[in-house]
């Protein structure tokens, strides 16, 4: 049971390049999300998914795309990298997000440190 | 819009002393509240949560948190700090609704425990 895995661990991009950050979980969680972590700003939600084929925007979605073709995988695509996207990116998963009367903590991956020059 | 405030960037405490990391929230309706810990170069790890019931919630590694609805606070506490507790702590909140909700995180508090 690997939990939540993310690749790559580190990445350097030039402005304008595109890339995909990979995220996979083996816990059969329905809910998956992408956050970015910046100094002094905590974690901010980029996109999230409540199940295969369903995605929605979070707090800071601009410049990022996601898709959810399987329960296990939730890749994050940077369409045209900008220096403002330099950050640490975390993927997380949980059983069903947060539902009335229930709540499931999120399990986080180890993160991808992205630098855009 | 919901928000979470962690007023202290850093908390310093001597090993063996009690520690408190403060958190206040603004959520419409009933909140779900969480504490996470992050060690260097690692992802976040779940510590504890408040959903309903007792205001004092116990979690991993001897940590506990007290939900105070009137003060909209959810402070993290531990009776006796360890050097190994040194890490970055995040409080998070969301609204308890009938559909999947989104967590809002505070900016984090760095806990430094010294001998």
Least confident of A98-102, B73-77, B103-107: A98-102
DSSP state of A105: P
> Has residue A83 got a pLDDT over 90?
yes
What proportion of chain B, given as a percentage, has pLDDT over 90? 75
Q: What is the pLDDT of residue A52?
A: 92
Kindly provide the residue ranges of all beta strands, DSSP E only, lying in chain B, ordered along the sequence: 3-5, 10-14, 19-21, 24-26, 31-38, 44-50, 56-58, 64-68, 73-78, 87-95, 104-105, 109-114
Contact A111 B43 (CB under 8 A): yes
Given phi > 0 = left and psi -120 to 50 = alpha, else beta, which region is A93?
Answer: beta
Contact B105 A97 (CB under 8 A): no
> Has residue B80 got a pLDDT over 90?
yes
Which residues from chain B sit within 8 angstroms of residue A110, using beta carbons?
41-43
Which residues from chain B sit within 8 angstroms of residue A58, using beta carbons?
102
* Distance in Å, alpha carbon of B104 to nearest chain A alpha carbon: 7
């Amino acid at each position: 049971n690997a939990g939540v895995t993310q690749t790559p661990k580190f990445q350097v991009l030039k402005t304008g390049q595109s890339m995909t950050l990979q995220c996979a979980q083996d816990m059969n969680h329905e809910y998956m999300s992408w956050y970015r972590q910046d100094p002094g700003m905590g974690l901010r939600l980029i996109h999230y998914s409540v199940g295969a084929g369903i995605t929605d925007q979070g707090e800071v979605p601009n410049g990022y795309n996601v898709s959810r073709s399987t329960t296990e995988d939730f890749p994050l695509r940077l369409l045209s990298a900008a220096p403002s996207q330099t950050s640490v990116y975390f993927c997380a998963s949980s059983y069903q997000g947060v539902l009335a009367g229930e709540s499931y903590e999120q399990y986080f991956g180890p993160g991808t440190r992205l630098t855009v020059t | 819009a919901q928000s979470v405030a962690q007023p202290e960037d850093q908390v310093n405490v001597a090993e063996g002393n009690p520690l408190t990391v403060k958190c206040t929230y603004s959520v419409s309706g009933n909140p779900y509240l969480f504490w996470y810990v992050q060690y260097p170069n690692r992802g976040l790890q779940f510590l504890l949560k408040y959903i309903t019931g007792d205001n004092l919630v116990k979690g991993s590694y001897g940590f506990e948190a007290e939900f105070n609805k009137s003060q909209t606070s959810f402070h993290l506490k531990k009776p006796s700090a360890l050097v190994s507790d040194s890490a970055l702590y995040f409080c998070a909140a969301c609204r308890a609704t009938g559909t999947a909700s989104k967590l809002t995180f505070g900016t984090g508090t760095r806990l430094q425990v010294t001998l």
